[in-house]
Structure 1
Amino acid sequence: MAVELTEADLAPVLRDRAALTGDVLEAIYADHDKPVTLEALRVVADSSSGMFTTASLLLTALTNHGMTERFVAAFSRHGVDLLPGDVAEDVEVFADEYGGEVIGDVTEPDFDHDGMLGFLMKAKAYRCRILVDGQHKGSGALISRRLVITADHVVEQVTGPLSGANGQDATAALTRIEVESPGGPCHAMPVWWLPVHDDEREGRLPPASAADTHCDVALLRLHRPLGRIVEPMRLPPVEEIEQDRGPHRFALLHYPKSGGTPVAQAAIRRDGPDALREFHTASTEVGSSGGPGFDREFRFIGLHQGRWQAFRRIVPYVRFARHPGFRAQIDNDVPPIYLWSVDGSLDGDLVIGRSRFFDALDLIVNDQPPMLRGVWIKRTRTARSEGMSFSHRLLRAFLSAHGKAFDTLRIPTGLEIPDLTGKLAELAFGSVAAAGYGAIGEQARAHGLAARLQDRAATTGRPLWLYFEAPPKELPRLAQIQLEHLLKALLQQPDLRIVLAGFETYTLPPRGFGNRTEVARATAAGLMVEYMGGHFSREDVDLTALEMDRTLALGWEDGVRGYLVEDALTGIPELQRNGVLQKGVYDVEHIGAVADNLRNAARKRLRMT
């Protein structure tokens, strides 16, 4: 799945869509050991005396890291086609001489050319190849953050041998399933399926009695949320498509094993809401099974299953669209309130604790109480800084996971930043704010800058998060005065959000909220306070394990999860304070070891080791 980008492709994007480029890089490098940032590339280019351009450095990084396809796919989510498709190259038009016998003559207009180009941009991003034990078995499509739809017979080496009710633990089979897509390769496991009927293996249609129980469809849950990078395929309301009848245009999106075109254009006979299977004439081969089919309006109408006599057939979407298990899997594929991993995968940094931080972010992002404007992270032991810089990554990870548009500014403080207001203006607008004169001048300066920041956020439609880093030692007196004026001014702006990381020894204006009730009763704007004490608890570990289980469908029931949490904490000494043992409380210096223990348990459960 090679994608060839050039500097000429990247230059206009870097010029016209710099902010989007930064967001895309952050998304695709979320699980990478050495992430690439646009700011870093620009610094290197600017200091190279013309030897390099930002575009050339970006191209080199993407190529060396194997990220070009992921980069292009991520842009398609935002309606930007870096490599516009060619209908002549990407679409195979198949004229089946026998089609008229079963399908009939199609009288509706051909596919719209521009519509097909737009479809190709998005479809090539969510198209998936399904590998079983390393062998290409079929096709599929990403339909939500973590779910891929395919035909059950593609993965029946896993679903077939399982006993008991549908939805039992699929890791009982040793078979390994992997999904390859522009979003990157990903381990997967079945979480819901309806099997193929034995009659279909003999070339017959399934009996009417099996219409709702044997639909040959499966949902695979990915161990990484690829839907954060690429836009999933839209599932149309059943009412839009179930009454269609007669010959229609048809497009099949698939991964033929020979590496042919991604789309096969042909005809299909629609037979209404009671159809068991529907016949089409698209050119298919090994590897096409499970590929989604679309009508002339590019609406998903079913999954390619295989051949029936001289024809190919799909399982109509209407056959399983309303199945409670299918709907439940999709409805439950939502981002967690409490992030257990920075990038939502076992490859990323695991998160233990910080529930108050996530509570505050959830309130701000989803409930939007008018008086809650951010978070104040306070250390109970100010000499320790564990978790402070990590908080900025958590902030961006949470906002990205919840699909929110946002901008962030990370504002350093300390003795080397004597003019804090000027530094904020420089970060936001590239120029220092006008100088102030005394306290009154600094107050006016702060209010003027806050108004400009609010105007920026309102104009872009992206709330602006201002992350003030704790000073390494202390604030200069002028910077302290500026911070007080800035906070008073910023709190009054509806589209600005504040995170104070530290500053425990300073008396600052924001009112501190301790819980949701205080936020609900507030009459003045303030910040939720999170206290970081340099320790974590057994309950923190259990919450992380619970979210891992829910997200990855690990099947860790309460008893099993409790055992795994105890195992993860084995050998970790409990904290002592003033000679008194704190039961179930541990020093934060051990948090990495506990996270590794949990990660290894999950990998073992998913057969990833």
Structure 2
Amino acid sequence: MARATDLIEAIRTSPAIADDALRAAQLGSDAAPVDLRAMTAAARVLGLDPAEFCVERVAAMHLIPVFRDALRVRGASVGVHRASPGHPETNHPAQGHPAPPGHPEPDEPSDRFDPDLRNLFLARAKRMRCRVFVGGRLEGSGFLVGPDLVLTAWHVVRRAIRSGSTDVTDVSVRLADGRVFHVAPHLAYSSECGTAELLQHAPGSDADVAGKHDVVLLRLKERAARSLGYAELPESAPSVTDARSIYLLDFPAGWDRGFGQGRASSIRDLTTRLQHSVKTDGGSSGGACFDSEYTLLGLHQGRYGSKRKDGKWQAGRLVPLSAFYEGIRPAVTTAIRPAALWRLGDGLEHPVVGRDHFIEAVAAAGEPATRVRGVRLKRRDPTTVDDDQTGFGFSARILEELLQRRVGRHVLIRVPLDQLLDDVAVDIAIRARAAGFAVDAGDGLDGATLAARLDAAAGDRTAWVFVDDASRQLTESGRMHLESFVGAALECEHLRLVIAGLETVQFGGLEFSSAGAASGEGSRGLVVDYVGTFSAADVRDYLTAALESVGVEPNPDLIESHAEVALIDRPHVNGAYPTAVLADIAPQLGKVLKLLGGAALRAEGGG
């Protein structure tokens, strides 16, 4: 826990940050918040030190933990003592003697670390690592390097690689949130290991493993949760000439035994492999290695040296990032998650929680060449009545907001099936004309003809037809018109569909579990998205996206704690909360964002 002196030092060294954190700590109080300027003025009247007075008042309000966390998430180093000119408490050597005037502050020893930065790294690291399976059997470790990319060792999945290709079969990963994701058949990058390395023999020179880096980049069929984060590639791969501290993120023998910590150093006459001192086991291969600056250094490959008397190997071997950096960089830098839509409007009253699947499907359908032609929304419980704030109506509002970002190139046509219509095609044509498409709505128009006419009228635009769930049963003629229109629209280049409800109607085309499942060649179809519930992970993703949108680096541990508090005593079934709960927790989540997001979110309405 932070000491009072730590908080006092933070106020003195970072008054602007302290003022922002002080305001945030008082959110939710009935009284008007007191800023640092007012605290300073009061302290001077009383003849007290402003920073000390401020901490005393914060303690009196029982806000020390909140104030401390608000300082930390804003970048203030709370609990780390560094020399600060003019502050007698810290401006001295360890012996307590004043430093000579003009004497420069000594460089920090290499074994020193910033505990706040380290804690943030550890919180992120435990979420980005994963286990890799082939045919349901654990084969090694890996880690996220993008929203849908996992880096691991080539030999971990070599049994699954089809002969003479870069395709894999039956590979899956289990992420830190417990979810299992299947891997797409085509590898984003692949480089096999040396022949001798398959026999646990280290290469003797770079020539032995020229172009062989023992690395694969797996692409998941779905994107991982936003709150899990991923390892970012540095601007350039770090080089290792001298021994340095490392952290290894692995699962020895498949078990979670925490992180490995040791030293990495070069190997004589070899630059494409390094040795390290972390004890590993089967299942560690593919684990991420980070240096003491928390920069990705490479991945663990296998053993090195000879066995000791206790049967353990003397050292481990890792493949440095510098060996394959240029190989994976193109895929990693283009694996960009669609821009987050975490709220509707400018305030905090309408959070978008648990809709990343829908948003990513819309983004995929918006691409010019794609098998995804839209989304099919289904209720987890078809007997429930739709809620405009959370269900199909809310989905239409999300879609409208997403299309507005495309500046007129994508146009929404909303078709509410709230009347008993025999000629659904004519009704869609009339609504298309109202949206600016010159479609002939003459009598006798069938669904397939309508799709062709609307596609031609779109020109260089894309028409998104959102069909609302029917409030009453469709007539037989209306159902046939709609089925005909959907089947034809799937093949039109300028048409996209969102079908909300109508669970009993069978439409043509494929149904994809995710946008990633539609990769490669094949028939077109719609991504299925179920509405009606959300999870704690969705709340974490919402908070993460909101903070990232205003340039605040999320602290995973803080986000997890706030999400848990928001959902305490809320009704759920096996962790699935009804979307009606969102209206109850939205004000609380708004206060959390104002606390963690600082001035950028405090001015927002709601919450």
Q: Give the TM-score category using the shorter length.
A: 0.3 to 0.5
TM-score normalised to the size of structure 1?
0.42
Q: TM-score, normalised by structure 2?
A: 0.42
Q: Which has the larger radius of gyration?
A: 2
